[in-house]
């Protein structure tokens, strides 16, 4: 075994562990700062001008009722899964995502930390 084969770094390669750790820290810092500038809100579920959230609860509640009666009911499990999927899809489809106003310097710092950190992580994993 050569010295390179015995020494393992980040990702099992003889790359730089320190580069990997610094890059990971930079990437996490950039991602945190970037996501802290994002504002998320949601709207109402409307079908034909009426609030439709209550209708999406019907399959979920019917499935839960069936499962309380018989825990092995395939139809009950199917209704619970379909009802939960409908609710999740409705929530995700009604999200409004906005980037808060910030200075160009702050935006460049956030994106620079994220991009530089990902570059250092990639450099730390490759063999050099």
Q: What is the mean pLDDT of each run of 10 residues along the chain (128 residues)?
A: 58 75 96 94 74 84 95 94 91 88 95 96 82
Cβ burial, residue 36 (10 Å; 0-12/13-18/19+): exposed
By DSSP bridging, strand 95-99 and strand 50-51 are: unpaired
Provide the domain count of the chain.
Answer: 2
Question: Do residues 95 and 114 both lie within one domain?
Answer: no
Residue 7 domain flag = no
What angle (nearest 5°) sits at the alpha carbon of residue 24, between those of residues 23 and 30?
90
pLDDT of residue 12: 65
Residue 84 domain flag = yes
Identify the domain containing residue 58 by its residue range.
39-99
Start-to-end C-alpha separation, the chain: 18
Question: Do residues 43 and 73 both lie within one domain?
Answer: yes
Question: Do residues 74 and 124 both lie within one domain?
Answer: no
The residues near 3 (Cβ < 8 Å, ≥ 6 apart) are none
Question: Do residues 64 and 109 both lie within one domain?
Answer: no
Helix (H, G, I), strand (E, B) or coil at 11: helix
Helix (H, G, I), strand (E, B) or coil at 90: helix
């Amino acid at each position: 075994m050569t010295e390179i084969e015995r020494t393992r770094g980040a990702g099992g390669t003889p790359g730089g562990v320190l580069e990997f750790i610094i890059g990971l820290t930079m990437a996490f810092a950039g991602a945190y700062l970037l996501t802290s500038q994002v504002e998320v809100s949601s709207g109402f579920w409307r079908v034909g001008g009426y609030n439709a959230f209550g209708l999406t609860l019907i399959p979920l509640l019917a499935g839960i009722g069936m499962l309380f009666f018989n825990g092995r009911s395939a139809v009950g499990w199917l209704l619970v899964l379909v009802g939960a999927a409908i609710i999740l899809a409705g929530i995700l489809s009604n999200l409004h995502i906005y980037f808060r106003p910030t200075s160009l310097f702050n935006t460049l710092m956030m994106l620079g930390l994220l991009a530089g950190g990902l570059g250092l992580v990639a450099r730390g994993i490759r063999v050099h």
